[in-house]
Chains A and B, each alone.
Chain A
Amino acid sequence: MTAETEIYQYALPKLLLKVIRNHVFLVMILVCINQNVSANTININNKTDSTKQTVSIRVVAGNKDCIFKRKYIRYTINIVNTYKVAQEGKIEYEVRNDRNKQLLGGQFDIHVDKKGLLIIPIKFKVTAPGFYEFSTRINVTDYDDTIATVFGYKPKLIKTPLHKPVDFDKFWDDAKAELKKVDPKYTIEYSKKQSTSTHKFYNVEMQSLDNVTIHGWISIPKLIGRFPVILIMPGYKQVLQPFFPDDQAIFCLTVRNVSQLNKLNKNPRMEPEYCMVNIEDKNNFIYKGAYMDCLRAVDFIFANYKLGLDTNRIIVFGGSQGGAFALVTAAMDHRVHICGADNPIYCDMHNYYEIANNKRPDAFPIKYYNQYLRQNAIQKESLLKTLDYFDVQNFIPYIKCPVLIALGTLDPIAPPACVYAAYNKVGPAARRKSEIHILSNVGHEITEEYSFIKFLWIEENTVEIH
Chain B
Amino acid sequence: MKNGFLILILIGVFHNESYAGFPVGKGRTVLSLAYNYYHSTKNFDINGHIYKDKPGDYFDSHYFSMYVAHGISRKLDIYAALPFVAEQSRNDSIYRSRNAFADCMIGFSFTKMNKSFNKFTSFKLAGIWPLYKGVTPLAVSYGATGLDFTINFTSTPKSMKKKGYFLLEGSYRHYFTKEGPDQFLFDIGRSFTINHFNYITFDVTGTFSSSLNKSAVVIPVISKDFSYIETKLTVGRRISRILTLYLEGFYTPLGRNTGLGLGGVFVSVVKLP
Interface residues of chain A, those whose CB is within 8 Å of chain B, are 197-199, 221-227, 244, 246-247, 448-449, 452, 455-456, 459-460, 462-464
Contacts and interface: CB of A to CB of B under 8 A. Distances in A.
B178 interface: no
B116 A198 contact: no
A246 B197 contact: yes
Contacts of A459: 25-26, 28
Given A223-B239, A247-B241, A452-B116, A199 B196 contact: yes
Contacts of A199: 196
B162 to A, nearest CB: 11
Given A224-B240, A247-B241, 13 more contacts: A221-B197, A223-B197, A223-B238, A223-B239, A223-B241, A224-B241, A224-B243, A226-B241, A227-B241, A452-B117, A460-B25, A460-B27, A460-B74
Interface in B158-205: 195-197
B241 A198 contact: no
B241 A225 contact: yes
A401 to B, nearest CB: 16
Nearest to B238: A223
Contacts, number: 52
A112 to B, nearest CB: 32
> Would you call the interface of chain B mostly helix, strand, loop, or mixed?
loop
Contacts of A449: 115-117
B196 A198 contact: yes
B196 A246 contact: yes
A294 B28 CA distance: 30
Contacts of A460: 25-27, 74
A197 B74 contact: no
B218 interface: no
Interface size class of chain B, counting residues whose CB lies under 8 Å from the partner chain: 10 to 19
B6 to A, nearest CB: 36
Which 7 interchain pairs have the tightest Cβ spacing?
A: A225-B241, A224-B240, A452-B117, A463-B27, A198-B196, A460-B26, A225-B240
Given A246-B196, A449-B117, A463-B26, A456 B239 contact: no
A244 B197 CA distance: 12
B195 A198 contact: yes
B273 interface: yes
B270 to A, nearest CB: 11
A341 B263 CA distance: 51
A463 B197 contact: no
Contacts of B116: 448-449, 452
Contacts of B242: 225
Interface in B252-273: 273
Contact of A197 (B25, B195, B238, B241): B195
Contacts of B196: 198-199, 221, 244, 246
Contact of B241 (A221, A448, A452, A456): A221
Contacts of A198: 195-197
Nearest to A460: B26
Nearest to B27: A463
A222 B22 CA distance: 24
Nearest to A225: B241
A253 B116 CA distance: 28
Nearest to A463: B27
B74 A456 contact: yes
Contacts of A223: 197, 238-241
A225 B117 CA distance: 28
A408 B117 CA distance: 20
Nearest to B241: A225
A456 B117 CA distance: 10
B239 A463 contact: no
13 contacts: A198-B196, A198-B197, A199-B196, A221-B241, A223-B239, A246-B197, A449-B115, A449-B116, A452-B116, A456-B25, A459-B25, A460-B74, A463-B273
Contacts of B273: 462-463
Which of A227, A455, A456, A462 has the most chain B CB within a 10 Å cutoff? Answer: A456
